[in-house]
Structure 1
Amino acid sequence: MHDLPPAAGRPVTRRDALRFAGAVAGLGAASLGWGAPEAAAAAPTLIDFAAKQIPAQQIRAAGHSGVVNYVSTSRPGSSFGAKPITLPYAQSLTAAGLVIVSNYQYGKPGGTAPSDFLRGYAGGVADARTAWQLHTAAGGGQSAPVFFTIDEDINRDTWNRVALQWFRGINSVLGVQRTGVYGGIDVCQWALTDGVIGRSSTPGRVWAWQTKAWSGNRVHPAAVLYQRIVSTASNPGPLVGGLEVDVNDVLASDVGQWNLHP
């Protein structure tokens, strides 16, 4: 999207921030550390991680408002403690006033299972069924979206030939409104243009979780989440509960959190 400005889209307003606070069970704006009413509103943040379940109170103590957690299993040869999210862990997060957003990723480039989107339409059907089973088993909202991951830089031809077919398979199971995408800015735009992701109740926003990777310092104006910190071996993310995490800025009051989508 070369016509996008270099700035990070529409900033989160105080109204957005307060609406999001209202959706976080048991937490108000002050307890989230957003300061006095006259101060500028700070965007809430969600963290994502895979290696282990970080205790809810440690997430709160670090100043985050919730998590994006996996509704997928670990790849062969790996055992990630936070994949998939479990009902007891979800209940502990909710009890601490933290929100939960669902994400599906099984394979990845260079992993023991290839990128999920390479499996095309039939793979999308299978992945959507797995994601929804794990999402609902953990208590996920019946109308909440699941964000499906494209964790690499792809071109439009690959999107059209392969990834789009995967998303159409996902849509055939979940419907468009419960389907979201994770990826760089181009992937977010293609998913929006081709009508395979749903819309947030926040006006002008869709189920696009954009990563800073492959995005050229641009943020899609319709994204609901922006992965501003991507933890890597050369550039580790902040520690929460002793684990390096990714940090995501909340760009809308409705980012698909379970408690807004019962």
Structure 2
Amino acid sequence: MHDSSATASVRLSRPVSRRDALRSAAALSALAGLGAASVSAATPAAAAAPTLIDFAMHQIPAQDIRAAGHSGVVNYVSLSRPGSSFGAKPITRPYAESLTAAGLVIVSNYQYGKPGGSAPSDFTRGFNGGVADAHTAWQLHTAAGGGQSAPIFFTVDDDINRDTWNNVALQWFRGINSVLGVQRTGVYGGINVCQWAAADGVIGNSRTAGHRWAWQTRSWSHGQVDPAAVLYQRIVSTASTPGPIVGGQEVDVNDVLAQDCGQWNLHP
């Protein structure tokens, strides 16, 4: 998930009111019956799929997201790196509630470090780093109202090879699993990373048959899409190829490939 910078319902500790039930139904309808079509591993995701946006600079008002035609967001459950101050990191409960009230969906993502940034890439932090990152991610996720069984997608924002996966990134995911369990762990990365994570059993399964918690970016994917992915980052905003502007900032755009893509309200 690039720092150019989801079906959502805030977890409640009280009985669900009629108003909350209606909000939850509205959020679910944002994705129900819309997409979720499987795609060929050799074919880009269909442009007609529902879309979620991801971003970091500041919180985009819910009405702007709806006006742009998107169904929700993938938002950070991580802090800003030293020297940076991203207004959308981490997601807050008031912002999550505003998205939910507007019928938008929320999916949780963790990314603190970045290649070449002021903190090293998270996946380089080993088993103990994975343990620490999972605790941080879960605390921020639940503080914002994230569902107790919802997955968190952990980021490999780099073009790594199989040796680096086996000897470095995999150990980080094992640490995450030791805290969250496999079923609440997801991965963000290129097609190889998504498929390695699934083959090594460190990410969980969507309730949509044949899909798992893989959020694939087009970067490093050579024009292919993993048919088991739940999200596909079709537009990656960069300095040379900026993404669309929503709420005054450039955003990345993600096609929804499964009705259950890890959105909070399906995982209370």
* TM-score, length of structure 1 as denominator length: 0.86
Q: Distance in 2 between matches of 1:53 and 1:110?
A: 25
Instruction: Point out where structure 1 has 5 or more consecutive residues left out of the alignment.
Output: 1-21, 35-39
Instruction: Point out where structure 2 has 5 or more consecutive residues left out of the alignment.
Output: 1-21, 35-45
- Asked if 1:239 corresponds to 2:248, the answer is no
**Pair 1:143–1:28, CA change in 2 (3 A):** closer
Amino acid in structure 2 at the alignment position of 1:26 = A
Q: Deviations over 1:179-213 (max 9, x none)?
A: 00000000000000000000000000000000000
State the 1:26 CA deviation.
Answer: 1.7
Count of paired positions? 235
Q: Distance in 2 between matches of 1:30 and 1:94?
A: 11
Q: Distance in 1 between matches of 2:231 and 2:197?
A: 15
Contact 2:23/2:101, CA 8 A, preserved across alignment: no
Partner residue of 2:119 out of 92, 104, 113: 113
Residues 211-226 of structure 1 aligned to structure 2 (within 5 Å): 211-226=217-232
Partner residue of 2:104 out of 91, 98, 103: 98
SS at match of 1:141: coil
**Pair 1:51–1:178, CA change in 2 (3 A):** same
Q: Distance in 2 between matches of 1:130 and 1:145?
A: 14
Amino acid in structure 1 at the alignment position of 2:53 = I
Residues 87-166 of structure 1 aligned to structure 2 (within 5 Å): 87-166=93-172
Q: Distance in 1 between matches of 2:82 and 2:30?
A: 44
**Pair 1:52–1:208, CA change in 2 (3 A):** same
Amino acid in structure 1 at the alignment position of 2:176 = I
* TM-score, length of structure 2 as denominator length: 0.84
**Pair 1:28–1:183, CA change in 2 (3 A):** closer
Q: Distance in 2 between matches of 1:26 and 1:209?
A: 24
Q: Distance in 1 between matches of 2:235 and 2:24?
A: 23
Amino acid in structure 2 at the alignment position of 1:98 = L
Amino acid in structure 1 at the alignment position of 2:154 = F
SS at match of 2:26: coil
**Pair 1:87–1:77, CA change in 2 (3 A):** same
- Asked if 1:171 corresponds to 2:174, the answer is no
Residues 1-262 of structure 1 aligned to structure 2 (within 5 Å): 25-26=25-26, 42-262=48-268
Contact 2:47/2:255, CA 8 A, preserved across alignment: no
1:37 is matched with none
State the 1:42 CA deviation.
Answer: 2.8
Between 1 and 2, higher relative CO (CA 8 Å, sep ≥ 6) is seen in 2
SS at match of 1:189: helix
Q: How much is the aligned-residue C-alpha RMSD, in angstroms?
A: 2.1
**Pair 1:138–1:155, CA change in 2 (3 A):** same
Q: Distance in 1 between matches of 2:141 and 2:243?
A: 26
Contact 1:24/1:98, CA 8 A, preserved across alignment: no
Query: Stretches of 4+ moved more than 4 A in 1?
Result: 27-32
**Pair 1:28–1:117, CA change in 2 (3 A):** closer
Identity across the alignment (%): 81
SS at match of 2:255: strand
State the 1:25 CA deviation.
Answer: 3.8
**Pair 1:238–1:52, CA change in 2 (3 A):** same
